[in-house]
Amino acid sequence: MLYLIIFLSIITQIQSEHTKTYKKDGLNNSDYIYFQDNTFGITLYKNPCQIVETNKIFREFVNQNIQCNGKWCYYTDFECVNTQTKCYHVERVIDVSGNEFYPECKMVAGNLVMIYGKWHNELNALSYVDAQAEKKEILGNKYEQIYSTINECCVRMINHNRSYNKCIDADNCDKKPNITLYIILFPRAFIAVFMILCRAVVVNRKYNRMNHGRYNYHIT
């Protein structure tokens, strides 16, 4: 009997925890119960690697470009009053608290979407692993696309060694240093510096000779 209890306890711990919303509605996203599918940053932004520092910025961008038509809309906007949960919240699909990527990589627009506020709060109450597992189930292929996008953005940020909030569009972010230009300019710069130093040495010697001749004479 004791072994059975231990076995059942282990099985219970292995099984993922789920939110109340998931237990009630399952995988059904009809009427956009969980999320409105045209609010993903990976499709809304020309450059999904653009840094979005605050939820307010993303919410305003979404409201400017999309009309809310899901179950939790505030008229036709994605708005929440105070701490209201029956509305759409801004959500980072791959949470910043995880260790899959650098935190900066998860601040990109491609990691954002509008989701049901109550579900959002319930996800925050789960462990990181369980919350991500449930998101993956609900979001389906979009989750994999977002994960892949973040990975690409992170690789770019490391390779270019610069922050993506300075990038206007993907073309600018993809620009690489012009190696040919460096090869041409570096020798010229070196020669110019060398010539300046040589000139300074010559002038200094002439100055010293003049001073030596001026003060080394005898009074007769």
Q: Please spell the DSSP secondary structure of the chain, one letter per residue.
A: -HHHHHHHHHHHHHSPP--HHHHHHTT--GGGSSB-TT--HHHH-SSTTSB---HHHHHHHHHHH----STT-BTTB----TT--SSEEEEESS-TTSSSS-GGGGGBGGGEEEEEHHHHHHHHHS-HHHHHHHHHHHHTHHHHHHHHHHHHHHHHHHHHTS-GGG-SSHHHHT----HHHHHHHHHHHHHHHHHHHHHHHHHHHHHHHHHHHHH-----
- Under the banding of pLDDT at 50, 70 and 90, the label for residue 203 is low
Mean pLDDT comparison of 2-11, 14-23, 175-184, highest-scoring range:
14-23
Average pLDDT for the chain: 80
Please tell me the predicted confidence (pLDDT) of residue 193: 79
How far out from the chain centre does Cα 184 lie?
Answer: 35
- Under the banding of pLDDT at 50, 70 and 90, the label for residue 105 is very high
> Does 133 or 12 have the greater pLDDT score?
133
**57-66, 81-90, 105-114, range with the lowest pLDDT:** 81-90
Q: For the chain, what percent of residues have pLDDT higher than 90?
A: 56
Please tell me the predicted confidence (pLDDT) of residue 208: 67
